[in-house]
A and B are shown apart, each in its own frame.
Chain A
Amino acid sequence: MTLVAEQASVSRIMFQVLAALVPAVAVYVWYFGPVILVQLGLASAAALLSEAVMLRLRSYPVEPFLRDGSALVTAWLIALSFPPLAPWWLTVTATVFAIVVAKHLYGGLGNNLFNPAMVGYAVAIISFPLQMTRWSAPTALAAVPLGFAEQVAYVFGGGLPAGLGLDAVTLATPLDTLKTHLALGEAAGDIMKMPVFGFLGGEGGEILALAYIVGGIWLWRQRVITWHVPVMFIATVAVLAAAFHAANPAQYAGAPLHLAGGATMIGAFFILTDPVSSPTTPRGKLIYAGGAGFLTYVIRVWGGYPDGVAFATLLMNLAAPMIELHTQPRVYGQRDSGRSGGGKP
């Protein structure tokens, strides 16, 4: 053990990630109402509680591991990728599943093969697709904006105020809207004139994307993440979207919608950058992010789900160990990659 060490710790890294999410949370509150704070609280409580129970069951010291902040990161990513009006039990179920199954049953912090937050998201969207696609309309666009109390009441199963249908308070996401209307034979250019699309990628959504970029760049400056994954992921999505749009503008939306809409930016800076479930080698990160960008675009455009980031992440998680094995950097004094073996000691 060296006698001196850099001021660094796992909890410092995790709390830096949480801090980098704060701008996005602020934007979320501004555009979609403060109910997101309730979702964050619900997910955080569920994550910390299930983490504590699992640590106790696995005979690990509870306090130092609760303080590492990793469960909170999972919780926040789940809350931010869920519809703000998702019923409380859905948020809690997804979070508990993420912590108990995806994290602890795979060996806990540092050992999970899959990104826990994305496992939670996948479980929710496969099991409860209806609830997962009902996004509250941005306050500016809702036919009847819900007050904070009414939003909270809805989340906790209280139903909507008398005379209001769900359609009055929710909207499909821009990516979902595009898909539905394309299926009806409309042209992409006309569909995107609808108010839900905002300037680039969705009313509110585009500012949210900007907030994720701001937080992500700060994380990069803090040396918590490297440039490889965000740059490669964003570039792949952008190039694919631009190419298909150029080939057939009526059928395919352009790069701005794909970058500003959906989970592209939270995925690029906060989800795919999870070090545990992604490759660590520089070349490996590029391949991983490129693959995730490709899969995200494919699932969005031709798949059955409104967005593809979660499934793209999980599929690339599966490939991460193999990618890492084949992208070992060259070691000092060796001709080829680090997996050389070498002679006898």
Chain B
Amino acid sequence: MRKLHSFSGGIHPPEHKEQSTREPIAQASLASRLIVPLQQHMGAVGDPLVRKGQRVLKGQPLAAAAGAFSAATHAPTSGMVSALELHPAPHPSGLLALCAVIEPDGEDRWTEHSPLDWRNADPQATLARLRDGGVVGLGGAVFPTAVKARGNGRPVDTLIINGGECEPYITCDDMLMRERAPEISRGIEILQRLTGAREVVVGIEDNKPEAVAAMEAACGASAIPIQVEPVPTLYPAGGEKQLIKVITGREVPSRGLPAEVGVVCFNVATVYAVYRAVELGEPMVSRVVTVTGNVHAPRNFECLLGTPVGELAALAGPCVDTDGFIMGGPLMGFPLPSDAVPVVKATNCVIASSEALFPKPPPPMPCIRCGRCAEACPAGLQPMDLYWFAKAHNLAKAEEFSLFDCIECGCCDYVCPSHIPLVQYYKFAKGEIRTLAQEKETADRARRRHEFRQYRQDREKQERAARLASRAPGAKKAPATPEALAESQEAE
């Protein structure tokens, strides 16, 4: 048992996890068509590698990784690419994204793939496998795993595997750990070798005893020492920064990376995807998704990426009064603009909502500065002050009061007696600040271009004048080159 630490704040919302853990993970049936956004990760996106009308095999790349900070995207099943078009992506605004639409042929035939002997392979080959296998962080940030695992020149001493899964309703990581712990421990071994970490700790909230037991059994049988550490259940203990604090006592510097304090952290589902990409050679084409909420049979499904949310939810039998779907949990998730949007790598949970399940909050009242948000904030912020600044559009002040240290966990919203949608204000203010910074950057670039143009025009005018002067009667022979011109000017 290691000494655990604690972070400030946190809340204990009702968990609602038991509904979706009664049944084992089921295989979702093949959807009528799969809509696969070509970008499902942070970073650059490659050009499409397929054309409309082309036949593809399961696992065939649809878009390659573009550069170092990227990951590939693959066909989740075999079939025909019926379209390459803009399609609503799972995003609160209904943002359109370039998607490959695949009509499955029902054969689900794999493209050629092979395991990698990672123990004897060059680490670069393993990293390339992760990048080309489309492995990204499945905890929500979809950061390319290869980028994180390659270390970036900073020595890492602690590898943390995040099995926190603290948000209510979501149980996909819990079920994955219960059922596939040996595979996860193989994935941990791969990542340990890549990162070179001396210490490996799996952090699991102590409300998941079955997952803890399964992981302890699997990790105990591993070739490397892996500690399984139950951590106190307190939302958001599964937040990366919070889990790192709980396990190591170290704090990730403001706006910095965990590697700066010698830590690297991967979600258990990511680790499982690493195992599949490396040991089985299977690129990431599916993931486990919790389907719960206002449905008759909540459970977890192993689901092909690109499956429309409506078709996935239908497998759990939505109740008749279902009025929409939430992607993610009830604190950080967002309502989907339509049930036609696809499951993507970042989709951990789909919750069918209804007025009875999530009643509309009463209209917001003014902030009375009761301070409950500050007590609940896991980042140690003063949310009521940030709200005040964001509302007044005082962006400089909001930034000065550490707006960008907000992790948007929703604890403040949850406890606010005035029912103010606080996180919405923070997201808005962050967006405004980023937009302004971009505009300033654009304006600076335009100004620099303009200044250079003026400089160039002045110079050309001078050169022309000098040429004219040299052609005038009685003048010396005109210098032939700009260098000579400059010399002659200096001589004068």
A163 at interface, CB cutoff 8 A: no
**Residues of chain A in range 58-79 having any CB-CB distance to chain B below 8 Å:** 64-65, 68, 70
Interface hit among B66-74, B79-87, B376-384: B376-384
Shortest CB-to-CB span from B3 to chain A, Å, is 19
Q: Are B366 and A332 in contact (CB under 8 A)?
A: no
Q: Are B353 and A340 in contact (CB under 8 A)?
A: no
Residues of A within 8 A of B11 (CB): 6
Shortest CB-to-CB span from A313 to chain B, Å, is 16
B416 at interface, CB cutoff 8 A: yes
B323 at interface, CB cutoff 8 A: no
B394 at interface, CB cutoff 8 A: no
Tally of A interface residues using CB under 8 Å: 42
**Residues of chain B in range 1-27 having any CB-CB distance to chain A below 8 Å:** 7-8, 11, 13-14
Shortest CB-to-CB span from A53 to chain B, Å, is 18
Q: Given A332-B380, A334-B402, A342-B402: A5 and B363 within 8 A (CB)? A: no
Shortest CB-to-CB span from B352 to chain A, Å, is 12
When the two chains form the complex, which single residue of A68, A281, A324, A333 contacts B241, counting CB atoms closer than 8 Å? Answer: A333
Q: Are B371 and A280 in contact (CB under 8 A)?
A: yes
Closest 6 CB pairs of A and B: A110-B366, A3-B330, A8-B417, A1-B421, A333-B254, A2-B413
A193 at interface, CB cutoff 8 A: no
Give the one of B380, B381, B400 with max A CB within 10 A: B380
Q: Are B405 and A4 in contact (CB under 8 A)?
A: no
Q: Are B402 and A340 in contact (CB under 8 A)?
A: yes
Interface hit among A9-17, A28-36, A137-145, A179-187: A9-17
Q: Are A341 and B399 in contact (CB under 8 A)?
A: yes
Shortest CB-to-CB span from B353 to chain A, Å, is 7
Distance between Cα atoms of A329 and B13 in the complex (Å): 25
Question: What bracket does the count of chain B residues touching chain A fall in?
Answer: 35 or more
When the two chains form the complex, which single residue of A3, A108, A276, A345 contacts B369, counting CB atoms closer than 8 Å? Answer: A276
Give the one of B241, B256, B385 with max A CB within 10 A: B385
Distance between Cα atoms of A12 and B418 in the complex (Å): 10
| 12 more A-B residue pairs beyond the given contacts A2-B330, A6-B11, A329-B374, with a C-beta to C-beta distance below 8 A | A3-B351, A8-B415, A9-B418, A12-B417, A65-B365, A110-B368, A110-B418, A280-B369, A331-B254, A332-B252, A342-B254, A343-B255
Identify 10 residue pairs between A and B in the complex whose beta-carbon atoms are under 8 Å apart, listed by A's number: A5-B361, A5-B414, A6-B13, A9-B417, A12-B417, A226-B371, A281-B382, A332-B379, A333-B379, A343-B255
A326 at interface, CB cutoff 8 A: no
Shortest CB-to-CB span from A18 to chain B, Å, is 15
Q: Mark B377-413, 1 if CB is under 8 A from A, else 0.
A: 0111110110000000000000111101100001001
Q: Given A9-B362, A332-B8: A1 and B413 within 8 A (CB)? A: yes
A198 at interface, CB cutoff 8 A: no
Q: Given A333-B254, A345-B437: A108 and B400 within 8 A (CB)? A: no
When the two chains form the complex, which single residue of B330, B401, B419 contacts A338, counting CB atoms closer than 8 Å? Answer: B401
B55 at interface, CB cutoff 8 A: no
A56 at interface, CB cutoff 8 A: no
Instruction: Report the nearest B residue to A343, measured CB to CB.
Output: B255
Q: Mark B422-447, 1 if CB is under 8 A from A, else 0.
A: 01100000100110010000000000
Residues of B within 8 A of A344 (CB): 437
**Residues of chain A in range 90-145 having any CB-CB distance to chain B below 8 Å:** 108-111
Residues of B within 8 A of A280 (CB): 369, 371, 374, 382, 384-385
Q: Are A332 and B251 in contact (CB under 8 A)?
A: yes
Q: Given A10-B365, A339-B400: A333 and B405 within 8 A (CB)? A: yes
When the two chains form the complex, which single residue of A1, A10, A276, A328 contacts B382, counting CB atoms closer than 8 Å? Answer: A328
Q: Are A333 and B252 in contact (CB under 8 A)?
A: yes
Distance between Cα atoms of A342 and B402 in the complex (Å): 7
Q: Mark A265-306, 1 if CB is under 8 A from B, else 0.
A: 000000000011000110000000000000000000000000
A330 at interface, CB cutoff 8 A: yes
Q: Are B419 and A64 in contact (CB under 8 A)?
A: no
Residues of A within 8 A of B413 (CB): 1-2, 5
Q: Are B419 and A5 in contact (CB under 8 A)?
A: yes
B331 at interface, CB cutoff 8 A: yes
When the two chains form the complex, which single residue of A2, A226, A338 contacts B414, counting CB atoms closer than 8 Å? Answer: A2
Q: Are B14 and A338 in contact (CB under 8 A)?
A: no
Q: Are A328 and B401 in contact (CB under 8 A)?
A: yes
Q: Given A2-B330, A8-B417, A280-B384: A333 and B256 within 8 A (CB)? A: yes
Distance between Cα atoms of A175 and B54 in the complex (Å): 93
